[in-house]
Chains A and B, each alone.
Chain A
């Protein structure tokens, strides 16, 4: 099974900061990597697909990059509504989520 490891597990930041979250796969997954945002009590929301595609309706401050085993999610200028938990997910073989990164004020 493919394991997904996110870092950091938690992150404190301020409004206006640039933030980067990393996701590493235990083997190459090409670009079959997606990012989701989850707020308390809500279902996750798709942000980024195929490593770098921005889902329709997602603000342009969100971007993704990477291929193979190493991927990043970047938020260019944090807004108050961005404080949430972020998950990466691979679909190269089965489906696996990372453990999540909690972004706190």
Chain B
């Protein structure tokens, strides 16, 4: 069974840094890309960024709203993907989900999701 478990959320002051982790199990971790998606309270889903499988170089893409502040990385030996969040702003307050990307003839589908971890940025 595919499982994704996020951790590391909490209350943090503006300007500080926080690192989220997503531990994966039940599939060949290195063969898949992973994305982070966030949802501010009462709002819709916002894609944050992705990291490709290692055989595609493990390259990353980030949404414009977090580019230069957020960094995604992966440790295939541990089956963990990280989201390093720097210079946090109150607008970054959200539930952060880790998702697995399943490739399908060019399309990339978020086929499994974690339960989410809440990040609250406030002074």
A residues bordering B, Cβ < 8 Å? 1, 30-34, 36, 38, 43-46, 49-50, 53, 55, 85, 87, 89, 91, 94-100
Distance between Cα atoms of A30 and B105 in the complex (Å): 11
- Residue among B45, B105, B106, B107 making CB contact with A44, cutoff 8 Å: B45
Question: Which interface class (under 10, 10 to 19, 20 to 34, 35 or more) fits B?
Answer: 20 to 34
**Distance of A36 from chain B, by nearest CB (Å):** 7
Task: Determine whether the beta carbon of B111 is less than 8 Å from that of A46.
Answer: yes
A101 — nearest CB in chain B belongs to which residue?
B44
- Residue among B46, B47, B105, B110 making CB contact with A46, cutoff 8 Å: B110
With A43-B97, A43-B116, A100-B44 known to touch, is A95 a contact of B35 (CB < 8 Å)? yes
With A43-B97, A49-B104 known to touch, is A97 a contact of B44 (CB < 8 Å)? yes
Which residues of chain B are near A1, meaning CB under 8 Å?
Answer: 64
Task: Determine whether the beta carbon of B109 is less than 8 Å from that of A100.
Answer: no
A-B contact pairs, 20 of them (CB 8 A): A32-B106, A32-B108, A34-B109, A36-B110, A43-B97, A43-B113, A43-B116, A44-B45, A44-B113, A45-B113, A46-B110, A49-B107, A53-B104, A85-B44, A87-B44, A89-B47, A91-B107, A94-B63, A95-B50, A100-B45
With A36-B110, A43-B115, A91-B108 known to touch, is A97 a contact of B45 (CB < 8 Å)? yes
Which residues of chain A are near B45, meaning CB under 8 Å?
Answer: 36, 38, 44, 87, 89, 97, 100
Task: Determine whether the beta carbon of B107 is less than 8 Å from that of A50.
Answer: yes
Task: Determine whether the beta carbon of A50 is less than 8 Å from that of B47.
Answer: no
